[in-house]
Structure 1
């Protein structure tokens, strides 16, 4: 059984929005539009809040049930993805830069899913 919490649900919605806007922008635009860029920035903002909350949860006594180094490794890698995609899109100015933004949102979701698995490893069946 996978534990659904508010962070996972919010992250899923934010990542899905980033993917959707990136794909729509790929289809109808030749260059990255503001909506796709803002969605990617929103993904990064969510990850920063998630990182702070994870730190507070650990300091408060709620421990990662899996390997902490693996959780924090995924989180640091996830934090790097949206800025790389954002700066790629700003500098590339082609239709395919929007695809990079969409893929970044999808990868961020997969990493968020994995981080939640690592955090709650004891309750996943």
Structure 2
């Protein structure tokens, strides 16, 4: 599998969201600002990733897998951090931080799969 810079940046942001969410779950009884900001940054990254993917595809770079599958994963990945953020803002409990951490893990898996689809690698 070929790994590009967007994937590496996404992995770093996902790891940051997971780490801050877990630490906030351990240390706080309410959603932590750092955990909220990390998930918001992850959402901004996904928007930029989607724009860059659209530009790459419009520029002639082909998706080696199924394009509908790639875009479906991207649209779903865009929903996960947004819904986790809304959950954490509305539910002021310790477990909101856990939801934020889990959203980072889910987006990591989806980014990994999107990278496989783009490069045409078979799932392991």
Q: Shorter-normalised TM-score: what interval?
A: over 0.9
Say if 2:20 is the partner of 1:21: yes
Aligned to 1:96: 95
Contiguous gaps of at least 5 residues in structure 1:
none
CA distance in 2, matches of 1:122, 1:37: 33
Distance 1:123 1:6 in 2: 20
Which structure 2 residue ranges, 5 or more long, are not aligned? none
Give the Å deviation of 1:33.
Answer: 1.1
Which whole-Å deviations, capped at 9, do the CAs of 1:30-68 have from their partners, x for residues lacking one? 000110000000000000000000000000000100000
Provide the TM-score with structure 1 as the length reference: 0.96
Contact kept? 1:14, 1:39, Cα under 8 Å: yes
1:6 pairs with 2:21: no
- Provide the alpha-carbon RMSD of the alignment: 1.4
The match for 2:32 is 33
How many residues of Structure 1 are paired with residues of Structure 2 in the alignment? 124
Alignment of 1:77-116 (within 5 A): 77-116=76-115
